[in-house]
Chain A
Amino acid sequence: MRMFYFILVIVLSLNIFCFAQTERSDGISGVVKSVDGNQLLPGVNVILKQTVIGTITNQSGEFIISRLTPGQYTVVFTLIGYKKSEVVVDVNEGETKTLEVILQSAPVQTEPVVITASRREQSLQEAPASISLIHSEELSARNANTIDRVLQYVPGVNITRGQVNVRGSTGYSYGVGTRVLLLLDGMPFLSGDTEEIIWESIPTIAIDRIEVVKGAGSALYGSSALGGVINVITKPVMEEPETYVKVYGGTYSTPSYSKWEWSDKARTLSGLSASRLQKFGDLSLGVAVSRTLDDGFKRNDYWKRWNGWSRVGYTISPYQSVLVSFNFMDQRRGNFLYWKDLDHALEPKDDQLGQGVHSVRWNLTAGYNHFLSNELYYTIRASWYRSDWNDNVPSIKYPEGSSSISDNILFETQVNYQLSDYQYLTGGLLGSFNRVDALKIFGIHNARGGAAYIQDEIKLLSSLSTTIGVRLDLQKMEDAKTVNKLNPKLGIVYNPFATLTVRASAGSGFRAPSVAETFTNTDAGGLTILPNPNLKPERSWSYEIGGTYIPLSEIEINASGFVNDFQDLIEPTFGLDGNVHFQNITSAQISGIEGTVGFFLFDRIWNSKISYTYIYPEDRTKHDILKYRPRKLFYISTEIAPEPFRLGIDYRYLSRVEQIDQEFVYLGIVPDGDQRVPISVVDLHASLNWQFAGLPLITRMNINNLFQYYYVDMIGNMGSIRNYVFTLESKF
């Protein structure tokens, strides 16, 4: 705890430096208002076109962009629900231009800007794919320590014991290999050994927004993007310094059944977080730290975690900038593999008691952006993700436990070139190096790869645009043959009316087998798992047709139909020798429909979203339903926010999983392992913003799993029981 206060003092002391800075006056400042009643507009994106410079208006609708080189700039103002506005400003030496900008309400909701679908900024309406957006406020409202807490309400997305499914893509792969690619600020963010998403490593406190792109995305992003891409975008540093502090505490309910009670003590969860974002002239700094603790509602399922994040940016000129960011996690957690049995659903088998994992993971990223002209800019980036863990889970060969250190190093350069008002080219080159040092479980291995991609967006008519792209990936793991994969994509977006967008897309995806799947050599739970160096990459093709219709400014309707074909899916399988190997055995087709209706009522005071996804996950090898895929997902989120109050309810229903690994049940590895029900959970959040009393404070209350519904999110693993969390949050 002393450590936390030490870091908090450092974070807050950045305030002091603020006063030591001498601001250059050349720049642009101003205020943004709505045309209706001159209401001041906070949260307006203010961007200098064709430069690396931008900011967001504060609570009073004000913005400042300083230290500009004299010259002419086009300032672009965008906000959801308002028409985009552009103002041309001449900035002279020693002069600050002051603007008063009036934004007009849009009869049709202005779409937010996204960057993941095409590796460049474009409006959501232009994107040739189904995209869902999550803003930082949604993470705060749900007190989400990890982003899977909020992803579980995204239409078509569900989480199975920490593994993310986009329209049933992943199922459950035992923590080795995800079929959804996670990006952190556009760079792949998967651990080097298991190629898995580590949610805890993502610096939640630093997140600005999350973009979820559904369907295969390997034509732009390479391996693992079979089912979709999740891009976590961290906060930019604004002209106005910002300090954020959050403290929360809560407790889990006592189980309803005395048989499930295993502790006399209250099971608590708590956390402290602080961040500071500030500019010092052309230098921008961001730092965040958090300490979170959770006793766990299940026995030996506790965790204690430190997260840290920092960012240093430097604006070399209006057309060039560099950015270096670092994030860090240190976590100790207990090991809960499966319950003892249904009568002891919150307790693991006795041999798991005392078992735990200590992991340290960090990520260093550096990037350089340069606008060569109004039409041409390029980015050079590199990242290094270190994952280091050790456990005390015994195997026959290594009774003391296992450990792994992996380094995933990536280099990337991307060029964006606007050939004309009707054509936009995006291309890039990548290189990767992956080293795994895990003698006791995966062995010591190296892998390297390279890729090249190009994408052409052509506006054929004012209402019709197409996107054609292709990416070639080469990957080589030690002495194995080089794997090369060519992944094309095609997208069409048609806007026959301002209120209707129709899109169609087709694209392929692939996933190279992880080191863990290829080289695991251990025994666990009575099973011996042996390497299979002959694994091939998984492949997929995704087809989607869908559209968005906005009949009124209060209603938005999205609908889509999709088919995803998968080949050579890798699954752990009993071999003829009786041992388990990962093998390419499954061909599958997942087809379905998805519909979402959003209501934005009473001047967006009451916002609701209802979504339904139906998938038919067919295992074409076994002529059966794929394992761990619920067929129906039904989510409702509704929030009423008359300032200063906010009250929201989230409901999610997932139909009962039809197929599981029945071997675990029959072999007695998981007693009562076939016990499962549909998931039907209600979460509630409420908050009060004390700004009306002059206090920069928000108090929040969360009740998760309000009705104490008991379900498993994986065989023998109970989903979270009811918990109450109280949060104090301040931004100043």
Chain B
Amino acid sequence: MAANSEVYVLGGYQTDFGRNWTKENKHFSALMRESVLGALERCEIAPEEVESAHVGNFAAELYCMQGHLGAFFTEAHPAFSGLPTGRHEAACASGSIALLAASAEIEAGRYDLQAVVGIEQMKTVSASEGGAYLGTAAWYAEEADGIEFPFPKLFGRLGDEYDRRYGLKDEHLAEISKINYANAKLNPNAQTRTWYMNKEHALCRTEDNPAVGGRIRIADCSQVTDGAVCVFLASRSYAERYARGMGRKLEDIPRIKGWGHNTARLRFADKVAESRDAEYVLPHVRSTITSAMKRAGIENVGGIDGIETHDCFTTSEYMAIDHFGITAPGESWKAVEEGWLEIDGKHPINPSGGLIGAGHPVGATGTRQLLDAFLQVTGQAGDYQVEGAKNFQTLNIGGSGTTSVSFVVGV
């Protein structure tokens, strides 16, 4: 296993995930531009300093009829013309895959300062058309073709698998939804910060909260939205200079202390068949989480002050709870009942509101999680700050538990 990484996180910028860029009549190049220029300004980095850029995006070809997204980075500022750039795709984990590639290049000594942009514009199409596009994150022909909203159904099956192995109550899922929505109210960039939500609504069984896939109802889902997040990753030598220039100590600049990355088989049925006799329903996700901790030199979740996890649906957060080791396998409900997941709880999860509350512009989510982890460990998360956080861990998942990436960010 690779030694502790020396990749520093200098910060970044998130667009307001409540915005609908189609309603503003904007091309996604505007989304790219706002996030990149915002990050330069926020981090006080001159554009000429940036040496390379990685763009994480899932499906601009479908949503925006546009490929070659790495090249669009150069449109954000004249100084970027000529920079080496590229685009990375791994469904909802696209942003994290871009981060992995950028950090690997820093570790290899190729570049000292990298921009990583996660970006997705999704409000360009209707909900059902977009639902079909999202189906391409599964094995489309096998699991999505001809099915309306395939992903809620796949993650409904994750809930069913928990129910079969360990038992699962809807009220625990509703509580997860409630916490994410409540946290989102504290996050000025969250998509749902003004939405009406409470636990009773999450549990209500009326047309205001319709079922969209088995046990998954609207309140259990993250919602599609438009958004971009740009972060800067740097080598140790750049971070030293940067810290000096900003009048800070190098120790105060967060590092990516550890990472994990696994890819399971595409079809959900194959995943659960593989794990039939295992403790964990999605063992490769578990392995992603534990290898990130191990690389960070952190023994278990007790050394993690907070988590930004991939709650594309309440069932995926329910899965994350035991997979992080917060409870024994199958006992995620205990953490829900004990109040451990709340911002001031023992194991805060998604203080930002997560995907359910903050919004899920697919390709931007991994970078959004990393930026939130950065804000937490530098004490800049405002109303959703976890007090005294030093180490935060992310979990970003593409497909039905297929590609998983996790980072431990800490000071």
A, B assembled together: no
A interface residues (Cβ-Cβ under 8 A, vs B): none
Q: Chain B residues in contact with chain A, CB under 8 A? A: none
